[in-house]
Structure 1
Amino acid sequence: MSKKVGNFRKIIFSCTAVFLILCMSGCSVTDLGGTKKQELDFTVLEKEDIPEELKTQIEEKKDEPMKLTYTDQGQMYLVRGYGKKESSGYSIEVKELYETENAVHIRTELKGPGEKEQVIEKHTWPYLVVKLDYQDRHVVFEE
């Protein structure tokens, strides 16, 4: 019996070793931070200028906060949505959009209704779509 237990332990050890090697070889870490290289030129799109397929994705996800990227014909679209709100009067500002060696970074800010602004009590879904030239980098949505 001890021979069977010994063989069983060898098999378990071998399987565990193979599993760990496979896990470690498939994982890599990319540093998405880094030094700001340059600001990127971008355009904030009006709803009628958003590609139809992207509009569909936004519509499906608009109730919850969202961070989407979409590429089409040499262009990159970055979407930042803030979910369902109980009134009108919200706006979104792009605070930064820049590139580092490994990533594109975007930081936006949701601005609530101003004190002097006329607010309508109805559900709204504030989101922003930014269009820029395609970048072959990860996208980091910063808070």
Structure 2
Amino acid sequence: MGKKAGNFRKIIFSCTAILFLFLVAGCSVTDLGGEKKQELDFTVLEKEDIPEELQATIEEKKDEPMKLTYTDQGQMVLVRGYGKKESSGYSIEVKELYATENAVHIRTELKGPGEKEQVIEKSTWPYIAVKLDYHNRHVVFEE
């Protein structure tokens, strides 16, 4: 019995040590919600103004909905794509772009072709790219 009790103690000690390491290493949870601190100024980029590296990533991922963040030289570009659509006439509106203590929040809306709009039956991949000053915060794409 002494050997079994010794093994049991080793197992308990090992489990306690592992638990302690998890607690010391700590997993932090950041609250990405919070109160609006400020509205952020932004510029909607034309396709030719999007950095080449980012444009290549957009091309790779355009068939599915996408949310991308790209940073370069004190600027950040947020991209929200809505995947492949079977016609033209879509537009995207930035409804909100603001900062909280821990995050930058962007909310966009896809608008379908209007009733009076001439629609071409061909595949399109609507997306929007907005440039703003760099913020060292998480980015939250809201629906």
TM-score under structure 2 length normalisation: 0.92
Select between 3-12 and 57-66 the one with higher mean Cα deviation.
3-12
Select between 40-49 and 15-24 the one with higher mean Cα deviation.
15-24
Superposition map of 1:1-143 within 5 A: 2-24=1-23, 25-143=25-143
User: 2: CA distance between counterparts of 1:34 and 1:138?
Assistant: 13
TM-fit CA distance, 1:23:
3.3
* Amino acid across the alignment from 1:105: H
User: 1: CA distance between counterparts of 2:88 and 2:67?
Assistant: 21
Over the matched positions of the two proteins, sequence identity in percent amounts to: 78
User: 2: CA distance between counterparts of 1:64 and 1:15?
Assistant: 46
Deviations 1:65-100 (Å, cap 9, x if unpaired)?
111101001100001011111111111000000111
Task: Report the 3-state secondary structure (helix = DSSP H, G, I; strand = E; otherwise coil) of the residue aligned with 1:136.
Answer: coil
Change (3 A) 1:43 1:16: same
User: 1: CA distance between counterparts of 2:87 and 2:22?
Assistant: 48
Note the residue ranges of structure 1 that are not aligned, 5 or more in a row. none
User: 2: CA distance between counterparts of 1:87 and 1:4?
Assistant: 74
User: 2: CA distance between counterparts of 1:60 and 1:21?
Assistant: 43
Structure 1: 4+ residue segments shifted above 4 A: none
Select between 3-12 and 48-57 the one with higher mean Cα deviation.
3-12
Task: Report the 3-state secondary structure (helix = DSSP H, G, I; strand = E; otherwise coil) of the residue aligned with 1:32.
Answer: coil
Instruction: Name the Cα RMSD after superposition.
Output: 1.4
Change (3 A) 1:13 1:60: farther
User: 1: CA distance between counterparts of 2:115 and 2:28?
Assistant: 49
Task: Report the 3-state secondary structure (helix = DSSP H, G, I; strand = E; otherwise coil) of the residue aligned with 2:17.
Answer: helix
User: 2: CA distance between counterparts of 1:129 and 1:139?
Assistant: 14
Change (3 A) 1:18 1:133: same
User: 2: CA distance between counterparts of 1:38 and 1:82?
Assistant: 27
How many residues end up aligned between the 2 structures? 142
Change (3 A) 1:10 1:63: farther
Select between 6-15 and 116-125 the one with higher mean Cα deviation.
6-15
User: 1: CA distance between counterparts of 2:11 and 2:63?
Assistant: 47
Task: Report the 3-state secondary structure (helix = DSSP H, G, I; strand = E; otherwise coil) of the residue aligned with 2:60.
Answer: helix
